[in-house]
Amino acid sequence: MVPQKQKINTRAKSPKGKKENNTKFIIVTGGVCSSLGKGIATSSIGAIMKACGFKVFVQKLDPYLNVDPGTMSPFQHGEVYVTNDGAETDLDLGHYERFIDEPMSKWSTVTTGKIYTDVLAKERRGDFLGGTIQVVPHITNAIKEAIREAAAQSGADIMMVEIGGTVGDIEGEPFLEAIRQMKSEDQVFHVHLTLLPYLKGSKELKTKPTQLSVRELRRIGLHPDMILARADYKIPKELLDKVSRFCDVPREAVIPALTVNSIYDVPLNYQKHDLAQIIGKKLDLGPLNPDMSKWEEGRERYEKAEKTVPIALVGKYTGLDDAYLSVIEAIKSAAVHHGRKAEIVWVESEKLEQKDPEAWQELKRCKGMVVPGGFGIRGIEGKIAAAKYARTQKIPYLGLCLGAQILTIEFARAMLKDRELTSEEFDEEGKIPPSKYVVHFLPGQHKGRAKGGTLRLGAYKCKLKEGTKAYEAYEVDEIEERHRHRYEFNNSLRKKLEDKGLVFSGEWPETQLMEIVEIRNHPFMLGSQFHPEFKSRPHRPHPLFRTFMGAVVEKRK
């Protein structure tokens, strides 16, 4: 809701009584190079605008040809973030939700592949009446329609739109052209995030790449309203003046975006330069005064957390932090909640499988263990060995999706004295009898099925069993969590495993599909078939991560 003191008519009616969409749009582009943190910048601006009292929604426009990131390797694109409505999306949507604390949806993600798929489907149906289909106007119109439809569906006062890639990329030009057209059709504020590289030889930051990036924008017909100057060193005032002068952007709208200790300090750093007031003036929002108290309290909490606690992240994509981005942020948030700073210790499961002494030494020095999701057989026996260590040595363990299946398989092998017990996913040659599957395909899933968008995706309800660690964590009877998998626990083994001490503490009420498993008489050894990391927030850690970290801290005393 828009505060009463800020009188803007975001839902004005036309003379015919039909509602008009008067959403204000804030567009974020990037220049010079990739990986500058456009997602963090977009999220931070959105957080500031929400702190002003506006309803904020965010959309990511990705120039790649994939329809969505669902089939892309984590090594290439990082984690696949899943929304409540089951969209497989770019990891930046995780930043949006964590910063703005609003759920994103399928309207939050648009790719070139999706735009072309939709436009060509219309052409095949004859929607264009035999016309020649072109990038302009058909593709650009589809992009504008996707942006405006997201604004309408979300009912946002402020619609944040991040354009992926870097200005100058060939594949990004249709998106920039669509924005150029929107600037004359809607109320648009354009933020350009760009790099000021530091040359060690001359010991100075350089503005020329930024000037060239803005010159490229001008060639396209865009003129940024604000420049966020990314740098690892303090930017001298004269350089900010120079950027303003050569890029023709008001001096107060050239804002230093320095590297900080925590990404959650970025909103405070931006607002220190009156970012909300600059945007409010341009978009006719009136005088804005964001309430940043939540962010101030968060910063104090992070600064007070001094003692470190090593947490093992046992995975198979350990070469890229972004592959487990939401998991890492959830661990850090939970640690701070308990007055600690998490030291993430990367443990590659393949090395555990190979009995690498250094990998095992790293694992054994950790006070807690998180085993995240993944697909395929590579490194699985290493994860099972890690779960055995956690079970036998009473090390707090949190398993996420695949990590929950690993927990169950290891427990079943040990307690039922059968080394052949496994998951149907790992029986690639089909030589193991189905009776040996502790985990098998969900109904409707099979090995020959297409990969993209076919898993169990999105939010599902889960009923909790009283007296369990899961119930203790949530303190409610029923929850709703997000999924991304195609396997389930084999109910035919349930009774045998329960008799041996495995607790099925959460199930999907509709079919008794097992959602949470935990081991009795253990400080904390729990796995969830869903992905709790997607709902963790910097100022409000997820209950499972919070309770897991509580067990870690308690054991360390």
304 shares its domain with 256: no
261 shares its domain with 339: no
**Within-domain flag for 3:** no
**Within-domain flag for 241:** yes
Torsion, Cα of 362, 364, 370, 373 (10° steps): 60
pLDDT at 424: 77
450 shares its domain with 394: yes
pLDDT at 21: 60
280 shares its domain with 349: no
**Within-domain flag for 310:** yes
Residues 6+ apart with CB under 8 A from 495: none
Q: Note whether 340 and 309 are within 8 A (CB).
A: yes
Residue 150 belongs to what domain range?
A: 24-284
Q: Print burial letters for 55-66: b (CB count within 10 Å at least 16), e (below 16).
A: bbbbbbbbbbee
33 shares its domain with 129: yes
- In the set 95, 138, 531, 542, the catalytic residue is 531
Look at residues 249, 284, 319 and tell me which one is the last residue of a structural domain: 284
375 shares its domain with 441: yes
pLDDT at 394: 96
CATH of the domain at 331: 3.40.50.880
Our answer to whether residue 33 is catalytic in this structure is no
CATH of the domain at 112: 3.40.50.300
**Within-domain flag for 15:** no
- Long-range contacts of residues 344-347, Cβ cutoff 8 Å, at least 24 apart: 344/311, 344/313, 345/310, 345/311, 345/312, 345/313, 346/313, 346/315, 346/318, 347/312, 347/313, 347/314, 347/315, 347/318, 347/386
pLDDT at 9: 36
Q: For residue 315, what are the β-bridge partners?
A: 348
Give, in order, the Cα–Cα distances in Å from 460 to each of 103, 156, 201, 404, 484: 15, 25, 56, 17, 11
**Within-domain flag for 2:** no
- Written as six digits, the tokens of 170 are 């060939």
**Within-domain flag for 123:** yes
pLDDT at 322: 84
pLDDT digits (tens), the chain, 557 positions: 344 334 333 333 333 333 456 899 999 999 999 889 999 999 999 999 999 999 999 999 999 888 877 677 666 667 899 999 999 998 999 999 999 999 999 999 999 999 999 999 999 999 988 889 999 999 999 999 999 999 999 999 999 999 999 999 999 999 999 999 999 999 999 999 999 999 998 889 999 999 999 999 999 999 999 999 999 999 999 999 999 999 999 999 999 999 998 999 999 999 999 999 999 999 999 999 999 999 999 999 999 998 999 999 998 877 677 889 999 999 999 999 999 999 999 999 999 999 999 999 999 999 999 999 877 778 889 999 999 999 999 999 999 999 999 999 999 999 999 888 888 777 777 778 777 787 776 555 455 444 444 577 899 999 999 999 999 999 999 999 999 877 788 888 888 999 999 999 999 888 778 899 999 999 999 999 999 999 999 999 999 999 999 999 987 65
- In the set 401, 410, 483, 542, the catalytic residue is 401
Look at residues 251, 284, 317 and tell me which one is the last residue of a structural domain: 284
**Within-domain flag for 14:** no
238 shares its domain with 126: yes
Q: How large is the angle between the packed helices 543-556 and 325-337, nearest 10 degrees? A: 60
147 shares its domain with 261: yes
User: How many Cα atoms within 13 Å fall on the side-chain side of residue 49?
Assistant: 29
Q: Number of structural domains, the chain?
A: 2
404 shares its domain with 264: no
d(CA 428, CA 492): 22
Strand-by-strand arrangement of the 307-315 sheet: 340-348, 307-315, 368-371, 397-400, 525-528, 513-519, 502-508, 456-464, 478-485
**Within-domain flag for 294:** no
pLDDT at 557: 57
Through-space distance between the first and last CA atoms of the chain, rounded to whole angstroms = 46
44 shares its domain with 163: yes
267 shares its domain with 312: no
505 shares its domain with 391: yes
Single-letter code of the amino acid located at 140: T
Look at residues 258, 284, 310 and tell me which one is the last residue of a structural domain: 284
Q: CB count, 10 Å around CB of 488?
A: 21
Our answer to whether residue 185 is catalytic in this structure is no
